[in-house]
Chain A
Amino acid sequence: MEFEKIRQLLSERFVDAVLGEDLEASPNALLIDRKKIAEMCNFLYSSKETYFDQLSCLTGIDNGPEENTMEVVYNLYSIPRAHHLMLKVTLDRKKPIIDSVQHIWRTANWHEREAFDLLGIQFKNHPDLRRILLPKDWEGYPLRKDYEEQEKYHGMNVKYDRDQYPDDIPQFKNQDADSI
């Protein structure tokens, strides 16, 4: 099914839920309202025409404190219909809460836990939302743009202080791409 047809189908069925589209993205993306995402995913999964039976990837993105938003990106694929779709949802950075889709695709269970672990996005109705890669007592969310690592972890220094290790390797500077 073509992207244009999917967009029409969704905007007819869910009024005001499709906020826009991104044709630069590959595969082409739809911008979705935060409150409608679980309902819409359920429709995309169960509808005969779309039948997105595979959630390839779920990504959480932090846009930084200036934009003050976070995003969750869903990459869907339909094995029998052989079409792609990308869904993008924008969240408030202060209260990043979104509905879980793990009851539709079980892939989302661990991917949502990862997004929670590294970015601190809360997934409503997730049965087991706890850290997956980092230990439970780790502080902060490392993939946020303003992340500062903690000072100590179980007695170990976490921050790498170059003054403490003067004989260590010299600091590499990223060359400005233009000067190369």
Chain B
Amino acid sequence: MQIQYKYHPDNLAISEPVIKDPKSLKTGEMIINIGPQHPSTHGVLRLEVVTDGEVVKEVIPHLGYLHRCFEKHAESVPFNQVIPYVDRMDYAAAMNNEHCYAMGIEKMLGIEDKIPKRVEYIRVLVAELNRIASHFIALGTYGMDIGAVTPFLWTMRDREHIIRLFEWISGARLLYNYIWIGGLFYDLPVGFEKRCKEFINYVRPKILDLENLLIENKIFIDRTAKVGTLPLDLAINYGVTGPILRASGLAYDLRRVDDYSVYPELDFEIPVGKGEMGEVGDCWDRAWVRVKECYESLRIVDQCLDQLNGPHKRTRDFNPQALVPKKIRPKAQDLYVRSEHPKGELGYFFRTDGRADTAIRCKARSCSFSNLSVLPEISKGYMLGDLIAIVGSLDFVMGEVDR
């Protein structure tokens, strides 16, 4: 019985061949292969780079090393059992994935207006906490990519507090399965609001520290300002969304555009890149927008906690699973649902036939997939070291690119 991978020197050339023909290279040009196992590619991304000396001429991304057949799974298991798979798409922001998925199914079932306000506020609370955690990873690893180790340790330390809070809520550190279709797994644990408030007061000065240490750092500015500038029209044409699009100068945030969940009742700003250190839409702007978004998310969390302590207080008979449907069988329809994920627009396309409790087709439009596709366009003409800075500033998670 053969279950072992049979090594053959030609296997890579057969399955993932180099696209650029070495014979077509000009004098001084060479092909450099970065990845799939390379710490600065943030996962298992392989980049085929054509360079002239140290100047990048062409970048060809090779994807698929983390493909786990999400869409095939989503066609074969019932809707409620897909949620754990959804977690594993962007494992750095699982709550946001769940929130969008649950919203889509609720919309298909027609129960999106019946969800209790307390459930909605808890969903937004955990989604925003997870947004902060995701941005902390983005900023910390970005600093590490271009040579600053301390911010990484700081952000990981502060992110650990968020993860401990989530562990208390759901029992899991990264992949929560907490937001269910029609409700939640559990209500918040007793005493959570107080601890969360303490966390906000703790973390706000820490973000300021991070800003002083990393974002305003001379070396960081030198490495990122005027590097990888993404013009607005190109960004929209490539389907780039999220902090990257906002860094290019457009205040486009689906939390405000679509006004889903309880976001219309919450007060927050949309930070937009201004090109303070170089040009609008360069790598520095993207990092700066993420830091500013952390502050805004903290404001949202604060307001959610006020609501959860005040008008939508915990009651003894409140059951967050009360509306969870026993049988999830939406009528036959096509539906596209989208929401603002930390990395951009996360969308799901569903097709149901009205007879089965599984989807006929479930496509995930992941934000990292579209955000990554702009890389070959914006990295031309920069140094190889700048390519690493550009890759880091795009902040993709390969689990979401490959699904």
Contacts and interface: CB of A to CB of B under 8 A. Distances in A.
Interface of A: 22, 24-27, 29, 53-57, 59, 61-62, 73, 75, 79, 82, 84, 86, 88, 105-107, 109-110, 118, 131-138, 142-143, 152, 154-157, 164, 174, 177-178, 180
A137 B64 CA distance: 13
A107 B345 contact: no
B336 A56 contact: yes
B15 A105 contact: no
B157 interface: no
Given A59-B361, A135-B16, A26 B334 contact: yes
- Residue from the set B5, B64, B338 with the largest chain A CB neighbour count within 10 Å: B64
B28 interface: no
- Residue from the set A56, A134, A157, A180 with the largest chain B CB neighbour count within 10 Å: A56
Given A57-B349, A107-B239, A135 B15 contact: yes
Interface in B49-90: 63-64, 67, 69, 71-72, 75, 77-78
B4 A26 contact: no
A155 B6 CA distance: 5
B238 A107 contact: yes
B286 to A, nearest CB: 19
B347 A75 contact: yes
25 contacts: A22-B334, A24-B334, A29-B334, A56-B239, A57-B363, A59-B349, A61-B360, A73-B334, A79-B250, A106-B237, A106-B377, A109-B373, A110-B373, A133-B67, A134-B64, A135-B14, A136-B15, A136-B17, A137-B15, A154-B8, A155-B4, A156-B2, A177-B78, A177-B327, A180-B327
B3 A26 contact: no
Interface in B294-347: 326-329, 331-336, 338, 345, 347
Interface in B354-377: 356-357, 360-361, 363, 365, 369-370, 373, 377
B145 interface: no
B336 A26 contact: yes
Interface residues of B, number: 56
Contacts of B360: 61
B117 interface: no
Interface of B: 1-6, 8, 11, 14-17, 63-64, 67, 69, 71-72, 75, 77-78, 107, 236-239, 250, 252, 257, 326-329, 331-336, 338, 345, 347, 349, 351, 356-357, 360-361, 363, 365, 369-370, 373, 377, 402-403
Contacts of B403: 133
Given A57-B347, A155-B2, A26 B333 contact: yes
Nearest to B8: A154
Return the 8 tightest CB-CB contacts between A and B, nearest first: A155-B6, A107-B239, A135-B15, A57-B365, A133-B64, A25-B334, A177-B357, A59-B363
B276 to A, nearest CB: 24
Contact of A174 (B71, B77, B328, B329): B77
A165 to B, nearest CB: 10
B247 to A, nearest CB: 16
B3 A157 contact: yes
A134 B328 CA distance: 32
A16 to B, nearest CB: 23
Contact of B63 (A24, A59, A82, A133): A133
Contacts of B3: 156-157
